[in-house]
């Protein structure tokens, strides 16, 4: 694993929910003049996705090179077939990632768009309407999905461009020599510098060189925390190291708050709740968010370090799927994100120590069985990595 490489010439804009994210995406696509890379897990069939699709086709029709890579499982065969038909008519280059699990079980869960090597978007939002559930049921949500992305100008865009282009090139039928030449060409490209407002770095997870990069960046931040840790995730089921790190931080006096999405998947909730007794005993504050679907994967440490991205804090994201996060060392950015988390916590429910202690034996047994099942499955598909 390579260490996180921070660059200083970056201008970051935090985008909360689809109401801020999708208009910014359309504006960027409409302003593109050379090329667009879009890599996404879910590209839905709804009004929001249609707006993005039409914008991409407009860009291709005016001569922009547009490359769209969607996940085969996340987007679904029916939608992929329709996208392929629509994009082909306007010259958009389109592919799906790992169809029929031909390249193993890993999915691309990344949410990335890069425009003209000058502007990038990265975060947790898929291309789908945030007023409907993303589990395929198309159930109406009581409020817009709670999620974040970041718009990025500056040196870091080059790293994101390289990651997106490399993923696309990985699906070309090329010999090894051609692939190496293409990757070397990408690394020699440069972007314009902007005003220094933050130190930021890209951390990705794949099943080659970066198998533990995202987890280790988080463990490093948690291990060096002095005052506070705020971690937000829709699904909490990490391996032992991350759970232990949070408990140890709380034990040494760091204020550790874990906000978790609940109510979407019953099995996932049971797995998460199996960790509650130890976390509460260590002093971790637990907050359950159920006002709407919580989809954000963010963290803030000491109001100085922050991360936003696609990686959940569970076994699939940390040990199997392709993921992408931005990590930021900037007080203003971290404070802004922390204020959003604080607002979200006012809409959530605090899990008390008394409540955890009062969980009945039958419920504890069910939670333990759910975790044992989850752990067994993850142990198999990650070849034993999940337990580490």
Domain boundaries, the chain: 10-198, 213-387
Instruction: Report whether 270 contacts 367 (CB < 8 A).
Output: yes
Q: Given this model, what pLDDT does residue 172 score?
A: 52
How large is the average pLDDT for residues 93-119? Answer: 96
Res 1 pLDDT > 80:
no
Query: CB burial class (10 A; 0-12, 13-18, 19+) of residue 310?
Result: buried
Q: Which residues pair with 381 in a beta bridge?
A: none
Please give the CATH topology (third level) of the domain spanning 213-387: Endonuclease; Chain A (3.30.870)
Given the residues 8, 116, 241, 244, the one annotated as active site:
116
Given the residues 302, 303, 314, 330, the one annotated as active site:
302
Q: Given this model, what pLDDT does residue 360 score?
A: 95
Given the residues 16, 53, 297, 340, the one annotated as active site:
297
Instruction: Report whether 311 contacts 214 (CB < 8 A).
Output: yes
Higher pLDDT, 301 or 172: 301
- Residue percentage of the chain with pLDDT more than 90: 87
Q: How far is CA 185 from CA 116, 170, 208, 224, in A?
A: 16, 15, 21, 37
Whether CATH 3.40.228.10 fits 10-198: no
Res 263 pLDDT > 70:
yes
Q: Given this model, what pLDDT does residue 2 score?
A: 54
How large is the average pLDDT for residues 30-50? Answer: 97
Active site residue 295: yes
Active site residue 375: no
Q: Given this model, what pLDDT does residue 182 score?
A: 46
Res 51 pLDDT > 90:
yes
Q: Quickly state the pLDDT bin for 3 (edges 50, 70, 90).
A: low
Q: How far is Cα 18 from Cα 293, in angstroms, rounded to an integer?
A: 13
User: Each residue of 329-343: pLDDT tens digit?
Assistant: 999 999 999 999 999
Given the residues 16, 53, 71, 109, the one annotated as active site:
109
User: Each residue of 202-257: pLDDT tens digit?
Assistant: 999 998 889 999 999 999 999 999 999 999 999 999 999 999 999 999 999 999 99
Given the residues 295, 322, 340, 375, the one annotated as active site:
295
Closest CA to 199 of 301, 325, 305: 305
Tokens of 71: 């996940």
Give residue 152's region: left, alpha or beta (phi > 0; psi -120 to 50). Answer: beta
Q: Given this model, what pLDDT does residue 265 score?
A: 93
Active site residue 46: no
Q: Given this model, what pLDDT does residue 388 score?
A: 63
Q: Given this model, what pLDDT does residue 292 score?
A: 97
Average pLDDT, the chain: 92
Q: Given this model, what pLDDT does residue 157 score?
A: 97
Q: Given this model, what pLDDT does residue 171 score?
A: 63
Given the residues 16, 111, 153, 375, the one annotated as active site:
111
């Amino acid at each position: 694993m390579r260490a996180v490489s921070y660059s200083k010439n970056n201008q970051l804009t935090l985008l909360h929910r689809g109401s801020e994210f999708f208009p910014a995406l359309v504006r960027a696509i409409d302003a593109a003049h050379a090329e667009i890379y879009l890599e996404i897990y879910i590209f839905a069939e709804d009004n929001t996705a249609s707006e993005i699709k039409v914008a991409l086709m407009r860009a291709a029709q005016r001569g922009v090179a547009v490359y769209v890579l969607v996940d085969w499982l996340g987007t679904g065969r029916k939608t992929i077939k329709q996208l392929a038909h629509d994009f082909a008519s306007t010259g958009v280059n389109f592919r799906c990632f790992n169809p029929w699990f031909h390249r193993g079980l890993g999915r691309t869960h990344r949410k990335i768009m890069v425009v003209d090597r000058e502007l990038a978007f990265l975060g947790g939002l898929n291309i789908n309407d945030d007023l409907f559930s993303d589990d395929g049921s198309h159930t109406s949500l009581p409020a817009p999905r709670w999620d974040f992305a970041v718009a990025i100008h500056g040196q870091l865009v080059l790293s994101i461009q390289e990651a997106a282009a490399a993923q696309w090139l990985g699906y070309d039928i090329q010999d090894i020599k051609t692939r190496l030449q293409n990757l070397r060409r990408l690394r020699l490209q440069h972007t314009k510098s902007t005003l220094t407002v933050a130190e930021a770095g890209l951390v990705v997870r794949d099943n080659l060189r970066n198998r533990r990069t995202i987890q280790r960046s988080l463990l490093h931040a948690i291990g060096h925390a002095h005052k506070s840790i705020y971690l937000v995730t829709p699904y909490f089921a990490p391996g032992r190291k991350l759970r232990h790190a949070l408990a140890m931080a709380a034990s040494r006096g760091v204020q550790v708050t874990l906000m978790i999405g609940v109510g979407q998947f019953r099995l996932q909730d049971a797995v998460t709740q199996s960790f509650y007794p130890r976390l509460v005993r260590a002093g971790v504050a637990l907050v359950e968010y159920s006002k709407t679907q919580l989809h954000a994967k963010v963290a803030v440490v000491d109001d100085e370090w922050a991360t936003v991205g696609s990686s959940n804090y569970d076994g699939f994201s940390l040990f199997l799927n392709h993921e992408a996060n931005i990590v930021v060392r900037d007080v203003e950015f971290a404070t802004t994100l922390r204020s959003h988390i604080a607002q979200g916590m006012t809409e959530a429910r605090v899990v008390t120590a008394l409540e955890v202690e009062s969980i009945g034996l039958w419920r504890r047994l069910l939670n333990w069985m759910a975790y044992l099942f989850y752990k067994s499955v993850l142990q198999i598909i990650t070849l034993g990595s999940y337990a580490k």
